[in-house]
């Protein structure tokens, strides 16, 4: 168990104002999935982690709190981490292609956050409609592998991030497990690293527990 830090420096950066200024998330999703979770209880097998820096565990300095190790340590199954920090949904579709060539039992996904950041830095360069189209393709292709699919839902509740809850709702509608893994983290230095986008070790540990709790009823 990781001890809570006693103090933490405060940072005021542009991204915080847009994404991480609030300390509590008002998640719009319901506790009960709109559709039953698909591909449940496939049996133990290979676990794949795909996506961006949150899937990678960027900013964590303790390996066992990162999503890949979190899942592997709990389920004792082989884990293949294909995630790469900074990737957009379009780029993560390339990771989906790699997964399709294997025989996954469980796939954990974090995607769409970098689409927002790309569009903030260059307005109009990554429209919401593009993200939704790419994420729909991603969910459909992953579910077609007969694996349990888990999505890290994000709810920053800030301007220009409206597409993120939409992606999470889409995932629920398709029978994907959605984990609100960063609920209560945004803008809170107890849980967030100094970039105010990624969790610190303590935040990742809480996220890890939330992922396990969400998945264990459907896998293996």
Domain spans in the chain, listed from the N-terminal domain onward:
43-215
Tell me the three state secondary structure of residue 3. Answer: coil
Query: Per-residue confidence of the chain (220 residues) as pLDDT tens digits?
Result: 554 444 434 333 333 333 443 333 334 444 445 679 999 999 999 999 999 999 999 999 999 999 999 999 999 999 999 999 999 999 999 999 999 999 999 999 999 999 999 999 999 999 999 999 999 999 999 999 999 999 999 999 788 999 999 999 999 999 999 999 999 999 999 999 999 999 999 999 999 999 999 999 999 9
* Tokens read off for 57: 């565990």
Give this prediction's pTM.
0.86
Are the beta carbons of 129 and 32 closer than 8 angstroms?
A: no
Rounded Cα–Cα distance for residues 73 and 91 (Å): 28
Side-chain half-sphere exposure of 23, counting CA atoms within 13 A: 4
Rounded Cα–Cα distance for residues 188 and 20 (Å): 8
Tell me the three state secondary structure of residue 131. Answer: helix
Are the beta carbons of 71 and 106 closer than 8 angstroms?
A: yes
Architecture category of domain 43-215 in CATH = 3-Layer(aba) Sandwich (3.40)
Give me the long-range contacts of 116-124 (CB less than 8 A, separation at least 24): 116/19, 116/160, 116/161, 116/163, 116/164, 117/15, 118/88, 119/160, 120/15, 120/18, 120/160
* Tokens read off for 97: 């292609």
């Amino acid at each position: 168990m990781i001890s809570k830090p006693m103090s933490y420096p405060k940072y005021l950066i542009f991204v915080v104002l847009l994404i991480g200024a609030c300390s509590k998330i008002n998640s719009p999703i319901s506790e009960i999935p709109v559709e039953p979770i698909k591909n449940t209880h496939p049996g133990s097998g290979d676990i794949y982690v795909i996506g961006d820096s949150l899937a990678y565990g960027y900013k964590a300095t303790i390996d066992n709190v990162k999503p890949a190790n979190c899942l592997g340590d709990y389920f004792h199954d082989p884990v293949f981490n294909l995630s790469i920090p900074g990737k957009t949904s379009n780029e993560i579709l390339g990771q989906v292609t790699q997964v399709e060539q294997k025989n996954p039992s469980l796939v954990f996904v974090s995607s769409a956050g970098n689409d927002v950041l790309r569009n903030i830095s260059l307005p109009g360069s990554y429209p919401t409609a593009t993200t939704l189209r790419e994420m729909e393709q991603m969910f459909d292709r992953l579910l077609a592998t007969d694996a349990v699919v888990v999505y890290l839902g994000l709810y920053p509740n800030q301007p220009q991030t409206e597409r993120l809850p939409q992606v999470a709702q889409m995932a629920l509608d398709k029978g994907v497990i959605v984990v609100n893994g960063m609920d209560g983290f945004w803008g809170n230095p107890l849980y967030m690293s100094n970039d105010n986008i990624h969790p610190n070790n303590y935040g990742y540990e809480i996220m890890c527990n939330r992922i396990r709790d969400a998945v264990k009823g459907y896998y293996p």
